[in-house]
Amino acid sequence: MIWKILIFAVVGYLLVRLFKNDLLRKQKADEKQEQEEMDAKIAQGEMVKDPQCGTYVSKDSEITVRDGATVYHFCSYDCRDKFLKALQEGGREIPPAGK
Ligand SMILES: [Zn+2]
């Protein structure tokens, strides 16, 4: 009688492990796909690098600074302010665009 319970437990454990592994593998594949999509967007110029922190942000982002012909995009107002401050300290002043 006790063997039946033991076998049941072992089989159950193995099934759970198998399922978990499968789930993990799927998650990794999803992450890889996401990364590939991101890379493609960067290559197409839809994603641009936040010059302050290095994060990639969408080109649609409203947090921008225009410096002549160059438009910088930022992930947050915090990053934009830091960037502007650094420019000012470097002797340059660029008024923030938009909001
Ligand atoms: Zn940033």
Token representation of residue 76:
């947050």
- Please indicate, yes or no, whether residues 55 and 72 belong to a single structural domain of this protein: yes
Q: Considering its fold, how many domains does the chain have in total?
A: 2
- Please indicate, yes or no, whether residues 69 and 27 belong to a single structural domain of this protein: no
**How many angstroms separate the alpha carbon of residue 32 from the centre of ligand 1?**
23
d(CA 65, CA 98): 9
Continuous segment of H or E residues that includes residue 46: none
Q: What average pLDDT values come out for the chain (99 residues) when binned by 10 residues?
A: 91 95 95 94 92 93 90 95 91 65
Range of the domain at 78: 45-99
Continuous segment of H or E residues that includes residue 71: strand 70-73
According to DSSP, residue 69 is labeled T
Measured from the Cβ of residue 31, the count of other Cβ atoms closer than 10 Å reads 10
Q: Which residues surround ligand 1, an ion (CB under 5 A)?
A: 50, 52-53, 55, 75, 79
Q: What is the pTM of this model?
A: 0.62
